[in-house]
Chain A
Amino acid sequence: MNEARRSPKDAAYKLIGGRGGRVEALAKVTGRATYADDLRLPGMLFGKLKRSTVAHGTIESMDVDRARALPGVRAVITGADLPVRYGILPVHQDETALAVDRVRYVGEPVAAVCADTEAIAQRALDLIDVSYARLPAMLSVEDAFAARVRLHESPKFQGNAHRVVALEFGDVEAALAGSEYTREDVFYYAGSTHVPMETHATLADASDGRVTIFVSHQAPYYLQQILPKVLSIPPHALRVVVPYVGGGFGGKLDPFPDTICAAKLAMLTGHPVKITLTREEVFYNHRGRHPSLMWIKTGIRAGRIAAVHFKAFLDGGAYGSFGTAAAYYHAALQPTTYRFETYKAEVVRFYTNKPPCGPKRGHGTPQPRFTLEAHLDRIAEDLGESAHELRARNLIAPHSKTVNHLSVTSCALDECLRRVVEASGYAEKHGRLPFGEGLGLAVGCYISGAALPIYWNEMPHSEVIVKADRSGKISAYSGHTEIGQGADTVLSWIVAEVLGVAPGDVTLVLRDSDSVPPDLGSYSSRVTMMMGNAAREAAQKLRDALAAAAADALEAEAEQLAFADRRVFVASDPDRGLTVEEAIARAETRQGLLSFTGSYTPRPQYGDFKGAGVGPSPAYSYTACVIHVHVDADTGRVRPQKVWIAHDIGRCISRVNVEGQVEGGVYMGLGEALMEEMAFTREGLLRNAGLLDYKTPTIMETPEIETFLVEDPDPEGPFGAKEVGQGPLLPVPPAFVNAVYDAIGVRFDELPVTPDKVLRALERGSKRVGPRGVIAFPFPEPVRVEVPQDAADRAV
């Protein structure tokens, strides 16, 4: 075993891997941390959005005169004022900020107003008269497939199929035919939404000849790509400031109508305009988990996974959003945990008349992961072997290529699996616990940042500036956003580690596009990997400059110097040294302004086929999880008792933050397994658009979580670090249903596992709860790709 996996903290580092707290902890616990809605500017107006009351229809007429005439109303805009189409992905520019002629979901914005007070703005909305001619509402993939009416007109689409993926690696039919055992299953994963505690908010100001927005957003970089186009202003005339973000989870990544309307209203009135969404409106912005209907068939030969054929039908909602990526991610990350000898994936995403789905923690991968892991549990049972052994035998090897041409670097999944199986007693207890008690096992994998940018270019994905001056001040400039994941701490610790100072010695300059270099933002688990590498490079250059200056002064070689405790000194003779301030002054004297840059550009390796760009990453994180559940046969309630989870983090930068991400991922996965689901009426109205009705786990439903961090430094990560923000969610839902089966003998092939479903299954003596079949969508001939040579060699 790699020795590094055992060591909790590498003694070579002062900070990296330690348990220190996050840099902004005090600001947050005192209430001083500022979020977008906390801001106000002189002369500020309040904006509100008028939203569609029908799921699908054409706008026959809209009368805004009465609203405009209300005293205190400063402006009213409609679709005609913001006609430019946009979308987060360049391939699908299918949105407008306000509906033009047609509405496609209940809650879609059709007009926006701003007024002197929020109450006047609210009254103005009631004075806008809209009449709709209803069209048939499509509320499921079955509806969308069967319907004649189309949500979007494009010759590229087959009916309402927004995106179709068909990829085949090797010959799956032949491999299935040559298998000793095959099995197929059908699964459904419900749609859920992020529920960040902070609702979306934008404060826009156009009073100085350009547009400034203060916005609750995960990726201001993408707003800078899209808003200038929609607002018809030059890109350099947009300034984006992102205060602390009160949770994102993927829900604050798209350009949203409220942001665009606030900017437009500020431009029209010359006043700052703030739009803060109500909790109900956050459910309409959505962009959460795609409901997904899935089918999988696997062939086993000599105990190995000879073939996997996977199909998925995604209910995408009314617009494209990140849906193309979600469809490809459904296909891409299953082969990263196991060696598949052949693999075929067919995925279709449909447009439906519901709030658009998009990227929620795990982005398109929790659904197929749920399917694969619950399916493998049954295969193991059929074959009469342990679910643990079946997995362990088929694990992907470190430094290898997957069947779909992804390059895996470090991988400690074997160790993760060993840890949770040992700690939980899975091998001894699974299948042997009394009725109502059960253990379930599953694994998962996630990317440490997408290797390819959304907007194609070859420029760096993260850039960091590290600066020092004669006052002794060291500053780090970065354009990442702090959404709770701990990115500010990662930046400060990396710079402090390299320079031998304390985190508090590093002044962070963040958030404001006027002063920070580009960073693609907080999504795809990319920040520690990419911003971290850029920060390390910039800090190292400053260190080299300080070392050169100090070496002169100390009459030593730069290579002999060490940096620690705010000093630069001769490593073999620590008394011979300078304070860091002295070293900075000497270096500034020698070479002028001490300002250094670091950049990180992934060097992706991927296959040569259409769709190969989704899935490549500088490194993959791995997770294994065992859950113990108790099922109450009288109430149908499933209570998770304990979760054991081991995560291959590469290396911890900030241990407390890494643990917090693992625990938060488990929590969110349990919410999706236990209770979270967006439910619609037949008219397409979201029935649970509020926290009274949309249930999320509280502290009472959240079990004890025992986290194991497996440290096997990755060659590409800063200090060896990989991602942790999303991966730990993935094994949780399948481990949960596998545990429920162990407890009561019922296979739940759909989520969430609510008490009514459990009770009904127990009353009827059902062995399975789940969808009966999938739809007969005519997938095109797949893109056929050869299995990579090294994967093929191992398969023999």
Chain B
Amino acid sequence: MTKRVISVIVNGVEREILTAPERTLLETLREDLQLTGTKFGCEHGECGACTVLVDDAPALSCITLAQLCDGKRVTTVEGLVGEHVEVVREAFAAAGGSQCGYCTPGMAVMFHHILARAANGEAIDPRRELSGNICRCTGFVKILEAYERSTEIAQRRGV
């Protein structure tokens, strides 16, 4: 197995990265691209702190090999765009959905993803959707409240 150059669209920009086969997407984002918003939590795909979107679907970047992302679109917390970005920020701040903040980027990416699905008319069970994102601070009460608020704000704004 050898290193090779992969081409990934990261947050809307095409990046060419020389990467070893064992290198994870998380290492590539944090160390090669200095996108440190995505967090290293457990390295086993258990905590969700490293959640990013790969071709618009949530992925655990700590157990996703970088080479498998060749030719794909990767969106991190820094690169979230669209009408739901402000919605999630407002809702999280108002509800107190973040304490130490370390799980928050992963949560924010998940919120963005499920709000987009909700906007397409899908029924969302937030507990089930967020069951892969561990928070040790909040007891999840204010995170669920942030989700409720974000759906209300989104509805009000028609987004």
Residues of A bordering B, CB below 8 Å: 21-22, 24-35, 37-38, 40, 194-199, 244-249, 276, 278-279, 483-486, 656-657, 659-660, 663-668, 690-692, 696, 698-700, 702, 704-705
Q: A197-B134, A691-B46 are in contact. Are A25 and B98 (CB under 8 A)?
A: yes
* B16-69 at interface with A (beta carbon < 8 Å): 30, 34, 36-44, 46-47, 49
A246 engages B78 (CB within 8 Å) = no
Q: Is B104 an interface residue (CB 8 A)?
A: yes
Given contacts A664-B136, A664-B139, 16 further A-B contacts (CB under 8 A): A21-B96, A22-B98, A25-B93, A25-B96, A29-B89, A34-B36, A196-B136, A197-B102, A198-B41, A244-B100, A660-B96, A667-B136, A667-B138, A691-B42, A691-B46, A696-B136
Select which of A30, A31, A197, A657 is within 8 A of B136 by beta carbon.
A197
Chain A residues within 8 Å of B76, by CB: 31
Query: Number of contacting residues on B, CB 8 A?
Result: 51
Residue pair B98, A197 in contact (C-beta under 8 Å): no
Return chain A residues, CB-CB under 8 Å to B38. Answer: 31
CA A619 to CA B152, docked complex, whole Å: 40
Interface contact A690-B96, CB-CB below 8 Å: no
Instruction: Choose one: A196, A656, A666; the contact of B139 (CB below 8 Å).
Output: A666
Q: Are B143 and A699 in contact (CB under 8 A)?
A: yes
| 9 A-B pairs whose Cβ atoms sit less than 8 Å apart in the complex | A25-B93, A28-B101, A40-B34, A246-B39, A276-B40, A279-B41, A663-B140, A699-B133, A699-B140
With the chains together, A486 CA to B142 CA distance in Å? 14
By beta carbon, the residue of chain B nearest A482 is B100
- Known A-B contacts A28-B98, A279-B43; the reply to A247 vs B93 at CB < 8 A is no
Given A197-B49, A668-B136, A699-B131, are A246 and B93 also a contact pair (CB < 8 Å)?
no
A442 to chain B, nearest CB (A): 18
What is the number of contacts between chain A and chain B, taking CB atoms within 8 Å?
165
B121-135 contacts to A, CB under 8 A, are 127-128, 130-135
**For chain B residues 107-159, which have a beta carbon within 8 Å of chain A?**
108, 127-128, 130-144
Whether B139 and A705, one on each chain, are in contact in the complex, defined by CB atoms closer than 8 angstroms, is yes
Instruction: Say whether B88 faces chain A, with CB atoms less than 8 Å apart.
Output: yes
Query: Is B94 an interface position by the 8 A CB rule?
Result: yes
Interchain CA distance A356-B108 in the complex, whole Å: 35
Residues on A with beta carbons closer than 8 Å to the beta carbon of B40: 37, 199, 276
Minimum C-beta distance from A452 to chain B (A): 28
Quote the shortest CB–CB distance from B134 to chain A (angstroms): 6
B34, B44, B101, B128: which contacts A244 (Cβ < 8 A)? B101
Given A197-B100, A691-B42, are A31 and B105 also a contact pair (CB < 8 Å)? yes
Tell whether, in the assembled complex, residue B96 and residue A656 are in contact, meaning their CB atoms are under 8 Å apart: yes
Cα separation A674 to B139 with both chains bound (whole Å): 14
Interface centre among A25, A29, A278, A483 (most CB of B within 10 A): A29
* Chain A residues with CB below 8 A from B135, complex form: 197, 699
Q: Does B103 contact A (CB under 8 A)?
A: yes
**A484 CB contacts on chain B under 8 angstroms:** 99-101, 137
B155 to chain A, nearest CB (A): 20
Closest A residue, CB atoms, query B91: A29
Q: A656-B95, A699-B143, A699-B144 are in contact. Are A690 and B101 (CB under 8 A)?
A: no
Nearest Cβ distance between residue B135 and chain A, in whole angstroms?
A: 7
A residues in contact with B97, CB < 8 Å? 29
Q: Tell me the minimal C-beta distance from B7 to chain A in angstroms.
A: 23
Task: Write the chain B residue with the least CB distance to A201.
Answer: B40
Known: A25-B98, A29-B92. A198 touches B39 (CB 8 A): yes
Does B10 interact with chain A (Cβ within 8 Å)? Answer: no
Is residue B77 contacting chain A, with contact meaning CB distance below 8 A? yes
Cross-chain contact A246 with B101 (CB below 8 angstroms): yes
Taking a contact as CB atoms closer than 8 A, the residue among A29, A279, A659, A704 that contacts B98 in the complex is A29
> How far, in angstroms, from A37 to B99 measured CA to CA in the complex?
18
**Complex partner residue of B102 from A21, A25, A246, A702, CB under 8 angstroms:** A246
Q: Pick from A199, A692, A698, A699 the residue with the most CB of B within 10 Å.
A: A699
A33 touches which one: B30, B101, B130, B132 (CB < 8 A)?
B101
Determine whether the beta carbon of B101 is less than 8 Å from that of A24: yes
Please indicate the chain A residues that have their CB under 8 angstroms from the CB of B141 in the complex.
659-660, 663, 702, 704-705
Residues of B within 8 A of A664 (CB): 99, 136-139
* CB-defined contacts of B44 to chain A, threshold 8 Å: 279, 690-692
C-alpha spacing A31/B46, complex, angstroms: 20
Given contacts A29-B92, A660-B142, A700-B131, contact A247 B100 (CB under 8 A): yes
Would you give the shortest CB distance from A271 to chain B, in whole angstroms? 17
